[in-house]
């Protein structure tokens, strides 16, 4: 993650009331989590995000259609299951003839 992206995230979290920024002497500030009653309403978060980043995002027709909420496809999980490392392959070859390398 870039430094700029982290700065935007911290600024958004502070603006939305999730964090309180505590200024300190030097270059490092501290951030503390606020109580949930101080948090912005979910419907206000997109406007806060746009104000902080200056980027207007397209609104999706249905939030359940977003990429993050989709379950992983079966093909993707099969690809992950088939991935192996050279060390694991070597160990399997070594153990197939009864010898350990």
| Sequence ranges of the domains in the chain | 3-56+70-96
| Confidence (pLDDT) at 95 | 47
pTM, two decimals, is: 0.52
Q: Which tens digit of pLDDT belongs to each residue from 25-65?
A: 888 899 999 999 999 999 999 999 998 888 777 766 555 55
Residue 12 sits at φ, ψ, to 5 deg, of -60, -45
Q: Which tens digit of pLDDT belongs to each residue from 67-89?
A: 555 555 555 544 444 444 444 44
- Pairwise CA distance, residues 52 & 7, whole Å: 10
Per-residue pLDDT band at 14 (split at 50, 70, 90): very high
- Pairwise CA distance, residues 5 & 11, whole Å: 10
The residue among 4 and 54 whose pLDDT is bigger is 4
- Pairwise CA distance, residues 38 & 40, whole Å: 7
């Amino acid at each position: 993650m870039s430094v700029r992206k982290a700065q935007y995230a911290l600024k958004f979290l502070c603006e939305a009331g999730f964090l309180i920024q505590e200024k300190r002497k030097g270059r490092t500030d501290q951030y503390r989590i606020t109580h949930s009653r101080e948090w912005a309403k979910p419907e206000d978060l997109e406007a806060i995000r746009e104000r902080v980043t200056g980027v207007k995002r397209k609104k999706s027709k249905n939030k359940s259609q977003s990429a993050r909420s989709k379950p992983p496809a079966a093909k993707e999980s099969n690809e992950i299951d088939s991935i192996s490392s050279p060390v694991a392959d070597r160990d399997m070859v070594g153990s197939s003839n009864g010898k350990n390398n």
